Chain A
């Protein structure tokens, strides 16, 4: 056999192999909910990450109520794994019947909102307004069932405030910090002046709290055009946080090894903390007894994080999946999830539940965390617009702040570099 003939047949074989793979990938499509037999035995797959608080007992409860349904629960190791999996399969097949997404992926998910089954319109009033608004696409469809939220408060160390001669009682601290960010930074300056130690953990984390209160920070909601570099609000926040950071920041990059060490070492007196941050603090500083949480957040309310359950529109059991997602995010189940994993509920009714309101946190000196974060959730009044390029621009901004914090550049150089980086996005 000549080598050319061999080559030709090999290519043909390869082409067959490739098209067979493609065909295999395309089959199994369709399905839908045309012929719904409510008693037909079906298997529903639920895919989540981290800990949503969906215990086996909780899922068993649903299976007992609906004997024809078997639920298979898959938990991805990290939310990054889940994210990669989600976008690889979204336009294709292979996703679970119910897929959890994080609020951070929403800008991208929104671009493909037509591939997801919308939440029935009569359910939308169950959630907090801003939770619904974040996941509503331009056509007015809500594409995710809200699970938890991350309303933000301020965590502080009583021993450090005491050393600075400041009040340590949560109510007094809340009163001290009530106001806008200038108040927070001026109290911080007093603290720094009297102790010489840092007031907050990092410029990046503080910036994140501030920028989340800006309605349209980086992109024009109407046109999607990038306005980040010319938006005076962004520049003001940038300058304000870096002015304060020069003296008040511990310069610890969030989630770094030093930052985790700082949680236990008392490197700084306060930090912005969403509800889920309490677990991060208690987990990394188990021996510290002086962390506490105050019912206050500078400049109003803020939300950091949270998730949704989505139902891919091309799944085999869309209607049944919607029913399950509905059940999983209903007030009772949200409270159960809160009890098992501390995920803070997003349903209006759940926020009034006595189990939630009466819950306290032993580590945080028995702070009434349920009541505090309910107040904080109700205080959120701005839903920041996050378009297609939001996270790229925001990541570049976080790096710009870090460059100033670690002394690589001065604020102006870092800003200029950020501007040139943003110009290359898009």
Chain B
């Protein structure tokens, strides 16, 4: 800015008066800055906020994870990778990892399958559509803690509704709080209850974007409802399904409320039956006040989610490419094809310009 103000003295004599000035006016300059700079300024509040409340804590967590940290006195002693080795060598970590993935699979897979079918039902021409559509979203509006309270009452070992019902039809009671798999099913049920409706609505929106002509054509061709569902609806849903899968993966790996509220102590069960990674992280940090270890665990969780994210990305790209491309060709094959076509065209035009050639 200063250099442009100092220079005109030397530039001015070279200019002939009356001509379009070489020197750019300040207004012009300002409008050019406006064009270049303004977008960044407009989006900068988000990034500034992100740096302060997002990036800074992440970096700070990384620092603390190498320390024996005292929260109250805000001081710590650098101890290197000790916290990481403690976490990785603790059998609870591996149990928590197992539980997290188990609950994630038990909740996401049935949830998405049920959601697709409910969405398909809602996509039909039924009475009081809006009522039913809003209805599926009601569980999502409920606070997770309230859901967990109701369900943990249902899944109580001796006086729970579910076990009472099982007893009345002669099936032995399920040990919901001592068997790991049973507890995962109970927790997954809470998750499914809450999230199925949410996913249903997203899938329903995608279904309504499918052109009705497809179905009409299929009906004319004699395809039944089921055949139409599997051959038209499901393939058309692919990009939306990928989105839903990714969001439920992230949610699934961070599952916390439901296992925390599953029993009265919130520590993941006497034998860590339903201890998830985030639950353990919370208990180390806010239960034992050991923030060094909690920070190390947080970073390990971050890396796990990163790895899963990359896997998701690779899978997604694979699926989306086959979705968007013509045929089964890769990008390089397509480029080679088009180059070959251009060369053919060029060769043809060269041939056409030579006078000797006969007219075909």
Contacts and interface: CB of A to CB of B under 8 A. Distances in A.
B271 A408 contact: yes
Interface string B171-194: 000010110000000000000000
Contacts of A417: 271
Interface in A1-37: 1, 6, 10-11, 13-14, 17-18, 21
B71 A88 contact: yes
A403 B156 contact: no
A1 B289 CA distance: 45
B55 A14 contact: yes
A87 B72 contact: yes
Contacts of A115: 72
B139 interface: no
B52 A18 contact: yes
Contacts of A21: 52
Interface residues of B, number: 37
A258 B159 contact: yes
B178 A406 contact: yes
Interface residues of A, number: 42
Contacts of A409: 271
Interface stretch (A119-127, A151-159, A288-296, A392-400): A392-400
Contacts of B48: 10, 13-14, 17
A424 B90 contact: yes
Contacts of A400: 270
A14 B264 contact: no
B286 interface: yes
A112 interface: yes
B72 A90 contact: yes
A87 B270 contact: no
Interface string A262-287: 00010000000000000000000000
A377 to B, nearest CB: 27
A257 B153 contact: yes
B286 A84 contact: yes
Nearest to A405: B270
A256 interface: yes
A17 B52 contact: yes
Contacts of B286: 84
B72 A14 contact: no
A253 B72 contact: no
B158 A258 contact: yes
A112 B51 contact: no
Contacts of A392: 288
Contacts of A140: none
Contacts of A112: 72-73
A257 B175 CA distance: 14
A400 B269 CA distance: 10
B82 interface: no
A402 interface: yes
B155 to A, nearest CB: 9
Contacts of B152: 257
Contacts of B158: 252, 258, 261
B51 A13 contact: yes
Interface string B219-238: 00000000000000000000
Nearest to B285: A84
B264 A255 contact: yes
Contact of B263 (A1, A87, A253): A253
A256 B156 contact: yes
A196 to B, nearest CB: 17
Nearest to B286: A84
Nearest to A84: B286
A138 interface: no
A121 to B, nearest CB: 25
A232 interface: no
B37 interface: yes
Given A261-B158, A400-B270, A403-B270, A253 B264 contact: yes
B302 interface: no
A366 interface: no
Contacts of A6: 40
Contact of B271 (A18, A258, A395, A403): A403
Interface string A78-97: 00000010011011100000
B71 A87 contact: yes
Contacts of B265: 255, 395
Contact of A1 (B36, B72, B90, B91): B36
A424 B89 CA distance: 9
Interface in A71-121: 84, 87-88, 90-92, 108, 111-112, 115
A211 B74 CA distance: 34
Contacts of B71: 87-88, 91
Contacts of A399: 267, 269-271
Interface in B35-68: 36-37, 40, 44, 47-48, 51-52, 55-56
B157 interface: yes
B51 A407 contact: no
A402 B270 contact: yes
A257 B186 CA distance: 15
A407 B159 CA distance: 18
A298 B75 CA distance: 45
A403 B152 CA distance: 19
Nearest to A261: B159
Contacts of B44: 10
A241 B55 CA distance: 51
Given A10-B44, A17-B51, A87-B71, 17 more contacts: A1-B37, A1-B40, A10-B47, A11-B51, A18-B52, A91-B72, A115-B72, A252-B158, A255-B264, A256-B177, A257-B152, A257-B156, A261-B159, A265-B159, A395-B267, A399-B271, A424-B86
17 contacts: A1-B36, A10-B48, A13-B51, A84-B286, A87-B72, A108-B289, A111-B72, A115-B72, A252-B158, A257-B156, A258-B158, A261-B156, A265-B159, A406-B178, A406-B270, A407-B178, A408-B271
Interface of A: 1, 6, 10-11, 13-14, 17-18, 21, 84, 87-88, 90-92, 108, 111-112, 115, 252-258, 261, 265, 392, 395, 398-400, 402-403, 406-409, 417, 420, 424
